Amino acid sequence: MAAALEVPGPKTFWPGGHLFYFRRDPLKFFTRLAREYGDVVQFRAGPQRVFLLNHPDYVRDLLVTHHGRFHKGRALQRAKRLLGTGLLTSEGEFHRRQRRLAQPAFHRQRVNSYARVMTEFASETSARWRDQQTLDISEEMSRLTLSIVGKTLFDADVGRDADEVGAALTEVMNLFNYLMLPFSELLEKLPLPPQRRFRRARARLDRIIYRIIEERRRGGRDRGDLLSMLLFAVDEEGDRSRMSDEQLRDEVMTIFLAGHETTANALTWAWYLLAQNPEAEKKLHAELDRVLEGGRLPTVEDLPALRYAEMVVAETMRLYPPAWAIGRLAIEDHEAGGYLIPRGSLVLVSQYVMHRDPRFFPDPERFRPERWTPEAKEARPQFSYFPFGGGVRRCIGEGFAWTEGVLLLAALARRWAMRLAPGHAVEPQPRITLRPGKGGVLVRLKSREP
């Protein structure tokens, strides 16, 4: 019987359990647990019993086969403090309704129509750069992807808000660990400095989002973008109601931030890895010189030929997945590997850990885009790689992200090479997303033009 088996894991004899190690360096902590204890590991984080699953079959069961046994975990429940009840945080029928209304904006034909905007914004960014200039590439990618999401999905010029959004988002990310503390729901009621900073940052983001919604309501015109779809959508399968401003705010905030933050992080880590791997960079440049004759901008029609660029993006998200872990709360008993996971437990799967598992990715710490040939992908089990999650909660913007990631990489790398600035240390910072730590990623630009 599953219940008779004791789940392996580290022992603890103090009230906080392993919360200290979990919070101090979750990437190292999860990796150590998986390597020492196997595919099903149990530990305690304060009063919460936590299970870490480390096998593709168990990931599939959690996200696909038995997804109905789980709700979103504590991290996304606490993320409601920023995102509200949007696609990322909602549950059940409400989530299905909202996803149904938003889905048309992410159909392939619609995403393909966004490609020209993506490359034009990339071209503007490239034109600002100068040979031998040193800059924070994470800041540059954040500004670029923010402008693209604003224009393509909301037909709004948010370039003027980029600095304010970036500062507010960084503040929110830095405070997220505070929101994850046990009993943080009680701490919210106190006028503590972290609470005040969080509220100020959220208010700054709200002002921008509500301004966009108000401007569009005044216009009253369907512009064919996501915001128009949400503004004018009627729930044909429900009460035929339209979304309130608050519902619109939650959906716009979710897609506005998640849609630019994740791609910005993926591209930042791609430049970081290419800067340290000149052979891979050389192969990428050779492909771009061949496909984009004369140094022209890439188009959506070029995507099938930009195979190595796509492999660079895929390998980057293996090593530095923007979404580095997924948590689910068990609302009924579940079994994994013969072990019982009781109702009320928190269940975690980590893309960061799974993507570096040597069983599926030999020499896992090495950056090797060739892992993503069709033959290599076919040889690996499904859910050994899951940067966009899986099942009914799979990221709605996956197609958008792949198109944007490959096109922006190609549009910028056709003209530029990068090297890390001397003496600048880069550390991943696991918050809601896996972003670079304080100081970003400083690089020195080298023009590829004669």
Q: Which string of DSSP letters, residue by residue, matches 265-286? A: HHHHHHHHHHHH-HHHHHHHHH
Residue 187 has pLDDT above 80, yes or no: no
Whether residue 4 has pLDDT greater than 60: no
Rounded-to-integer distance, Cα 116 and Cα 102, Å = 22
Rounded to an integer, what distance in angstroms lies between the CA atom of residue 331 and that of residue 340?
A: 13
CB-based contacts of 192, cutoff 8 Å, min separation 6: none
Which pLDDT does position 36 carry in this prediction?
96
- For residue range 28-69, list pLDDT tens digits in order: 999 999 999 999 999 988 778 999 999 999 999 999 999 999
- Answer for the pair 230, 101: CB distance below 8 angstroms, yes or no: yes
Fold of 2-447: Cytochrome p450 (1.10.630)
Percent of the chain scoring above 90 in pLDDT: 55
447: three-class secondary structure by DSSP? strand
- Predicted local distance difference test score (pLDDT) of residue 357: 98
Q: What is the pLDDT of residues 325-366, one digit of tens each?
A: 999 999 999 999 999 999 999 999 999 999 999 999 999 999
Distance between CA atoms of residues 89 and 79, nearest Å: 7
d(CA 18, CA 16): 6
Write out pLDDT tens, residues 59-109. 999 999 999 999 887 666 767 777 788 887 788 888 888 888 788 888 888
User: The dihedral of CA 357, 362, 368, 370: what is its sign?
Assistant: negative
For residues 202 and 79, give the distance between their C-alpha atoms in angstroms, rounded to a whole number: 12
Higher pLDDT residue, 268 or 190?
268
Q: Across all residues in the chain, what is the average pLDDT?
A: 88
Query: What secondary structure letter does DSSP report for 65?
Result: I
How far apart CA 379 and CA 314 sit, in angstroms, is: 16
Overall average pLDDT of the 225-250 stretch? 75
Q: Which residues pair with 112 in a beta bridge?
A: none
- Burial (0-12, 13-18, 19+ Cβ within 10 Å), 48: middle
Q: Is the pLDDT of residue 1 over 70?
A: no
Mind listing the pLDDT tens digit for each residue in 386-406? 999 999 889 999 999 999 999
The Cα 73–Cα 70 span in angstroms is 8
Domain ranges for the chain, please list them.
2-447
Give the three-class secondary structure for 395: coil
Cα pseudo-dihedral 162, 163, 168, 169, rounded to 10: 50
Cα separation of the two ends of the chain: 70
